[in-house]
Each structure stands twice: as structure tokens, then as C-alpha cells.
């Protein structure tokens, strides 16, 4: 079983739509969680950390569900510029950082 | 700030050739990493350096060597390239080892024929 699993998509949504991605992790001892964004042929960039209480940054909301071992990313009012691959990253401690394969989002005009 | 600078951006090698990927960061970070990214797979850690003077193997170290030249620089060497090493390579750095907040270089697209 993979440490981190994501639906690869693609998710094709119209501008202005709300879209949500989930990411499941296998290690219940995982300590910290992150979402990264990766544009085509570019490097990953940290989008946001995921806190136990959930956190919001503008149109982006990240949540953690420890009981079911998943994290989520919600994007409201999608923009064309949101088109990218979103990587889920889980820190299982002791430098065990696991990257998901990513979920591809395309926002359509 | 340049952040993490990685060279070269593209490289084509023949099987058996050697090469070194260079990486430098100007954020005064302690930890540096080399990852590879292959289609359908998440980024996989090749080697990392927790701090200047130390290096450790990651998940997929075979066929690679690294050098932490100083706090800024961390190089990755392929001694005898193989087609299985065709991949996109990313260097990254962070202030604290394994904290998850990584800054990545722009990547090296390597093809081994």
C-alpha cells in the first residue's frame, strides 16, 4: 500500500466552480501535512500547510481528518491560473516525507 | 533572492557516461535534498544532507553519490548512467530537516540513452 494516495484526475472544472481534492495516508503516526502546487514542467511549490484545526488562505481551504486519515484541499471560485497539479505531502516523522503522485486540475474558460 | 539554483536544466547522456548535477541555495538553509520525479510516481528521495558535512541515503540511492560541499552547495553525481536513471531531478532545501516546507530548484530533465 502506498504511503500517500491521490486521485490523479484530471479534474476539469469551469471558471468560478468549487473543486475539492482528497489525499489519504497510511501511517497513523504522521505528524504534519502539506499541499504543494506544481505547474507543468516546473518545480513544486508549497501552497499551504494543513493544521489539525483546518486552515484557510483566500480561496483555498485545507482540512485534516485524522480519524479517517485523509487531508483535503478545497478551491473556491476557480481561476484559470489555478490549473496545475496539486501534490499532497505527508511527514511521517524522522525525515520520512512522502509525496503523493498529484491531482491534475484544469480550469476551463 | 535566487532561492535554489540547479544546473543544468537539460542533459542527454549515453549509457555509462558520468555527470554531476549542481545545486546551490542562498537561504542559509541547513538541510538539502535530491529527489527524482517519474511519471505516475511521487517524488522519491535519493539522498539528503541534514547539515553541512553530513549526507544520508534516501529511498532510491543506488547509482548515485552526493557531496555537501559547504552549507550552500549539494551536488549529485551519476558515475555510470543507466536508462533507468532517465528522470526529472529536483534539488530542494529546508531550514529544518524533514519539516515538509521545502524550496525546490527548477529541475533537471535527464535522458539516458
Q: Could you give the CA distance from residue A67 to residue B89 in angstroms, rounded to a whole number?
A: 35
Contact status of B50 with chain A (Cβ, < 8 Å):
yes
Residue A32 contacts B where some CB pair is shorter than 8 Å: yes
Count of CB pairs separated by less than 8 Å, A with B: 51
pLDDT recorded at residue B96: 86
Which of A33, A87, A101 lies closest to B40 in CB terms?
A101
A54-105, pLDDT tens digit by residue? 899 999 999 999 999 999 999 999 999 999 999 999 998 767 889 999 999 9
**Assigned C-alpha cell, B31:** 538541510
**Per-residue model confidence as pLDDT tens for chain B (113 residues):** 689 999 999 999 999 999 999 999 999 999 999 999 998 888 999 999 999 999 999 999 999 999 998 999 999 999 999 999 999 999 999 998 878 899 999 999 999 99
Residues A10-21 have a mean pLDDT of: 96
Dihedral sign of CA atoms B38, B44, B47, B49 in order: positive
At A53 the pLDDT is 87
Cell of A85: 497539479
> Which triple of cell numbers denotes residue A14?
469551469
Point out the residue among A32, A43, A45 whose CB comes nearest to the CB of B100. A32
* Strands (E) located in chain B: 4-7, 10-13, 19-25, 31-37, 44-49, 56-57, 64-68, 74-78, 87-94, 103-104, 108-112
pLDDT at B1: 64
Q: Enter the C-alpha cell of residue A10.
A: 484530471
Nearest Cβ partner of B102 from A46, A93, A96? A46
Judge if the upstream peptide bond of residue B24 is cis by omega within 30 degrees of 0: no
Amino acid at each position: 500500500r502506498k504511503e500517500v494516495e491521490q486521485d490523479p484526475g484530471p479534474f476539469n472544472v469551469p471558471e468560478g466552480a468549487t473543486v475539492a481534492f482528497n489525499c489519504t495516508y497510511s501511517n497513523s503516526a504522521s505528524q504534519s501535512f502539506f499541499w504543494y502546487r506544481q505547474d507543468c514542467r516546473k518545480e513544486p511549490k508549497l501552497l499551504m500547510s494543513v493544521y489539525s484545526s483546518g486552515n484557510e488562505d483566500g480561496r483555498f481551504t485545507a482540512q485534516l481528518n485524522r480519524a479517517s486519515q485523509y487531508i483535503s484541499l478545497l478551491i473556491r471560485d476557480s481561476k484559470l491560473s489555478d490549473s496545475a497539479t496539486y501534490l499532497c505531502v505527508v511527514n511521517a516523522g524522522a525525515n520520512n516525507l512522502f509525496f503523493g503522485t498529484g491531482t491534475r486540475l484544469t480550469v476551463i474558460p | 533572492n535566487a532561492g535554489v539554483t540547479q544546473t543544468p536544466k537539460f542533459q542527454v547522456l549515453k549509457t555509462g557516461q558520468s555527470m554531476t548535477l549542481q545545486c546551490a541555495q542562498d537561504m542559509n538553509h541547513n538541510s538539502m535534498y535530491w529527489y527524482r520525479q517519474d511519471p505516475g510516481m511521487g517524488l522519491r528521495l535519493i539522498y539528503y544532507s541534514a547539515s553541512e558535512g553530513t549526507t544520508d541515503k534516501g529511498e532510491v540511492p543506488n547509482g548515485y553519490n552526493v557531496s555537501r560541499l559547504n552549507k550552500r552547495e549539494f551536488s549529485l553525481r551519476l558515475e555510470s548512467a543507466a536508462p533507468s536513471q532517465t528522470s526529472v531531478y529536483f534539488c530542494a532545501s529546508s531550514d529544518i530537516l524533514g519539516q515538509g516546507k521545502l524550496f525546490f530548484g527548477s529541475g533537471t530533465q535527464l535522458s539516458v540513452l
